Each structure stands twice: as C-alpha cells, then as structure tokens.
C-alpha cells in the first residue's frame, strides 16, 4: 500500500466522521467565558457583622450542646 492509498482511507474516515458528528463548535475565548461585575460596596446591609446577633447564636448553640451532653450522661 502506498502513502496515497493511506491518505485516501484517512480522508474517507474523516468524511465519515464529519457526516455522522458534524464539525466541532467554534472555540470560546477565555475573555468570553468570564464577566466582570462591580462588587457591592463594603459596609452594606448584606455584609454587616452584628456582634450581638453572633453572641446570641453562640449562646443558643452552647445551650443545645449542654442539653445534649446532659441527656447522654443521664442514660
């Protein structure tokens, strides 16, 4: 078999694949995959830290843990 014979077989295979699957989609550039969005300014209502609320939550969790540990000791 000659090189031209192999090339004909390869072209036939390529044609068969393209007929079955079509062409590959176009490449997407990295710049098109990302979007820059302006961040919210610091100190907004959604990012504010409330130390009183945080200590309240810790107190609730601590009380629940104490109750659970006492229940286990009672068994």
pLDDT at 47: 57
Please check whether residue 47 is in contact with residue 40, taking contact to mean a CB–CB distance below 8 angstroms: yes
What mean pLDDT do residues 37-64 have? 72
- Is the model's pLDDT at 5 over the cut of 70? no
Nearest to 7 by CA among 18, 15, 24: 15
pLDDT at 49: 65
E-state strands within the chain: none
Please check whether residue 32 is in contact with residue 26, taking contact to mean a CB–CB distance below 8 angstroms: no
pLDDT at 1: 45
pLDDT at 42: 64
């Amino acid at each position: 078999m000659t090189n031209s014979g192999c090339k004909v077989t390869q072209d036939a295979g390529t044609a068969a694949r393209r007929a079955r699957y079509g062409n590959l989609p176009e490449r997407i550039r990295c710049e098109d995959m990302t979007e820059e969005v302006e961040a919210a300014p610091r100190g907004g209502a959604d990012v504010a830290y409330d130390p009183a609320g945080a200590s309240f939550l810790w107190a609730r969790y601590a009380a629940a843990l104490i109750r659970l540990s006492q229940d286990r000791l009672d068994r």
